[in-house]
């Protein structure tokens, strides 16, 4: 049984998936498997994956979205540690080795995240870090363990990790917290982090070992629409914690929800102003959050 399962999710990424998979297959950490979930691609992506033969395990499914693809990957993973890679992102060669070492050093860490950069199709660096400023300020030159209470508190206000391509999670923790929530189109990762942080510490690696691709056809989409979708999803994610979060922290969650309402209202206002039209989904989310 492999020590690490790499779960790669892809949908219509013919131009990028070969490079993503090569970055996974070229890892210096050898005790691994690579599970690729093709989420109903129609552009030949699955053919490129299949051409790699038994170097990867390909699972084809009808389109279920990113969260559904990750769930399929986890269900078919055999490793005790699960690392996620989006089909258009890249890893540095020692990314897995560094994360496995961090997981061994900090057995209380349910999740290990590396830093990285945001880049475009021309290779230009658009962003020099993928960790939130609140995390960067805590980091030293080596791996830093952040207590789960602090992670849980901060995640109610902001996402600390830009992309799942930075993340490795213990399989037993994924089994404990349950699958990614398919209701959140762009923020199922943040919901998963929040549920993990309810009971498990996070380990953060300051090295930039992941490369998050930004391009017009990515699931991220245009920046203004992405920001609004994240904000409205964020409201629902925090509201979910009122019902399912740790006992005794309801007051903190309600305060975080009020903060999110203000944040979403601001994002909806600027989105509407920019596009000269209303944002019904955002306004509906704000109304429900404010009245419950």
Q: What is the pLDDT along the chain (292 residues), one digit of tens a residue?
A: 789 999 999 999 999 999 999 999 999 999 999 999 999 999 999 999 999 999 999 999 999 999 999 999 999 999 999 999 999 999 999 999 999 999 999 999 999 999 999 999 999 999 999 999 999 999 999 999 999 999 988 877 778 999 999 999 999 999 999 999 898 877 899 899 999 999 999 999 999 999 999 876 545 455 555 555 555 666 666 666 666 555 445 555 555 555 655 555 555 555 555 654 555 555 555 545 444 5
Residue 83 to residue 171: CA distance in whole angstroms: 10
End residue of a domain, out of 213, 231, 260: 213
Q: Are residues 115 and 54 in the same domain?
A: yes
Same domain as 154, residue 84: yes
202 falls within a domain: yes
- The answer on 146 and 51 residing in a single domain is yes
136 and 242 part of one domain? no
183 and 278 co-located in one domain: no
Do 145 and 234 reside in the same domain of the chain? no
pLDDT at 276: 47
- Are residues 198 and 228 located together in one domain of the fold? no
Note whether residue 111 is domain-resident.
yes
The pTM score is 0.84
Q: Please choose, from the candidates 114, 195, 103, the residue with its C-alpha nearest in 3D space to the C-alpha of residue 162.
A: 114
pLDDT for the residue 70: 98
204 shares a domain with 253: no
Confirm whether 203 is domain-assigned: yes
Q: How far is CA 75 from CA 69, 82, 151, in A?
A: 10, 11, 26
Domain of residue 207, CATH code: 3.90.550.10
Residues 110 and 249 placed together within one structural domain of the fold: no
Residue range(s) defining the domain that contains residue 244: 223-291
pLDDT of the residue at 17: 99
If asked whether residues 30 and 173 sit together in one domain, one would say yes
Number of structural domains the chain divides into: 2
- Tell me whether residue 218 is in a domain: no
CA distance 49 to 56: 8
121 in a structural domain: yes
Strand partners, 161: 131
Same domain, 161 and 241: no
End of a domain among 181, 213, 245? 213
CB-count exposure of residue 280 (10 Å: 0-12, 13-18, 19+): exposed
- Choosing from 213, 234, 259, the residue where a domain stops is 213
Do residues 227 and 209 share a domain?
no
Looking at residue 265, its pLDDT comes to: 52
Does residue 81 fall inside a structural domain?
Answer: yes
Asked if the structure places residue 47 within a domain, the reply is yes
For residues 144 and 206, the answer to whether their CB atoms sit within 8 Å is yes
Return the ∠ at Cα 126 (arms to 120 and 128), rounded to 5°. Answer: 125
Is 134 a member of any domain?
Answer: yes
């Amino acid at each position: 049984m492999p020590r690490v399962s790499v779960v790669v999710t892809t949908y219509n990424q013919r131009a990028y998936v070969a490079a993503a998979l090569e970055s996974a297959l070229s890892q210096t950490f050898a005790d691994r498997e690579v599970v690729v979930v093709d989420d109903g691609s129609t552009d030949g992506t699955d053919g490129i994956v299949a051409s790699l033969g038994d170097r990867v395990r390909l699972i084809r499914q009808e389109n279920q979205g990113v969260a559904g693809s990750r769930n399929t990957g986890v269900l078919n993973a055999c490793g005790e540690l699960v690392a996620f890679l989006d089909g258009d992102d890249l890893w540095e060669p020692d990314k897995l080795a560094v994360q496995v070492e961090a997981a061994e050093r900090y057995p209380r860490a349910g999740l290990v995240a590396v830093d990285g950069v945001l880049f475009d199709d021309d290779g230009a660096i658009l962003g020099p870090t993928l960790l939130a400023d609140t995390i960067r300020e805590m980091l030293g030159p080596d791996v830093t363990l952040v207590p789960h209470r602090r992670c849980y508190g901060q995640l109610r206000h902001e996402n600390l990790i830009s992309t799942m391509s930075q993340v490795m999670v213990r399989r037993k923790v994924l089994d404990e917290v349950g699958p990614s929530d398919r209701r959140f189109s762009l923020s199922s990762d943040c919901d998963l982090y929040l549920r993990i942080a309810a009971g498990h510490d996070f380990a953060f690696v300051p090295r930039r070992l992941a490369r998050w691709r930004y391009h017009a056809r990515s699931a991220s989409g245009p920046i203004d629409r992405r920001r609004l979708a994240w904000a409205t999803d964020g409201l629902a994610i925090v509201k979910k914690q009122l019902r399912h979060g740790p006992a005794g922290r309801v007051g903190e969650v309600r305060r975080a929800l009020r903060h999110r309402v203000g944040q979403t209202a601001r994002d909806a206002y600027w989105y509407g102003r920019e596009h000269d039209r209303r944002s019904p989904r955002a306004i509906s989310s704000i109304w429900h959050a404010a009245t419950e």
